[in-house]
């Protein structure tokens, strides 16, 4: 019988650092491309990322089991610094649908759009590669981040997690 992965009361720091390094790399490249397009676009992109973070803290992290603790992303600790604790029942009230993924995808699409415009202005292999890196990091990194480092060890996931349920449903549909 397959052994169940260990559940972390608080995640080891190396997991938090690896996950954040990958995330910062992907979004950092995205921001760089938008700044190449123009400072205003770069600032707007960073504002958009901050808005997504703010929404996540306010809607999910405050109600998560890891509020005040070191979750896989380090957000539980940050949430407790800036936001009041929420209702744990709220965490699993919402059911995720593919449309909920759109804001996250836009954070990848904006840098690609910036890259395409920059390539039309002057073709450069550097821009071409940079433009493909954020989606590549996202699609290759997420199965490791969520599939190996975060979700299998997550206490909130064992209680209930709409994101986990959503991705498990997608996986089982792919297998059919
Ligand atoms: S199960 Fe995964 S997606 Fe859900 S709260 Fe835990 S780490 Fe986050």
In a domain, 134, yes or no: yes
The string of pLDDT tens digits covering residues 41-57 is 999 999 999 999 999 99
**151 CA → ligand 1 middle, Å:** 5
Asked if residue 68 is part of any domain, the answer here is yes
Residues 120-159 have pLDDT tens digits of 999 999 999 999 999 999 999 999 999 999 999 999 999 9
Cα gap 61→59, rounded to integer Å? 6
Domain count, the chain: 1
pTM: 0.91
Identify whether 8 is part of a domain: no
CA of 72 to the centre of ligand 1 (A): 8
User: Domain range for residue 58?
Assistant: 13-175
Domain membership flag for residue 1 = no
The alpha carbon dihedral of 95, 96, 97, 99 has a sign of positive
Establish whether residue 161 lines the binding site of ligand 1, counting it when its CB lies within 6 angstroms of any ligand atom. Answer: yes
In a domain, 5, yes or no: no
Residue given tokens 């009041």 in the structure block: 84
- DSSP class of residue 62 equals G
Q: Phi, psi (5° rounding) for residue 85? A: -60, 145
In a domain, 3, yes or no: no
Atom 1, ligand 1: residue with shortest CA distance: 157
């Amino acid at each position: 019988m397959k052994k169940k992965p260990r559940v972390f009361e608080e995640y080891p720091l190396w997991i938090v650092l690896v996950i954040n390094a990958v995330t910062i790399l992907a979004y950092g490249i995205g921001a760089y491309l938008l700044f190449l397009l123009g400072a205003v676009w770069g600032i707007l992109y960073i504002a958009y990322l901050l808005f997504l973070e703010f929404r996540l803290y306010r809607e999910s992290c405050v109600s998560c089991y890891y509020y005040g603790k070191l979750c896989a992303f380090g957000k539980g600790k940050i949430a407790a610094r800036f936001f009041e604790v929420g209702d744990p029942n709220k965490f699993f009230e919402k059911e995720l649908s593919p449309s909920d993924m759109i804001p996250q995808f836009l954070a990848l699409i904006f840098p690609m759009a910036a890259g395409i415009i920059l390539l039309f202005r002057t073709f450069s292999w550097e821009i071409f590669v940079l433009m493909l890196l954020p989606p590549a990091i996202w699609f290759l990194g997420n199965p490791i981040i969520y599939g190996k480092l975060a979700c299998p060890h997550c206490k909130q996931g064992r209680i209930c997690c709409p994101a986990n349920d959503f991705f498990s449903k997608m996986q089982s549909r792919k297998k059919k």
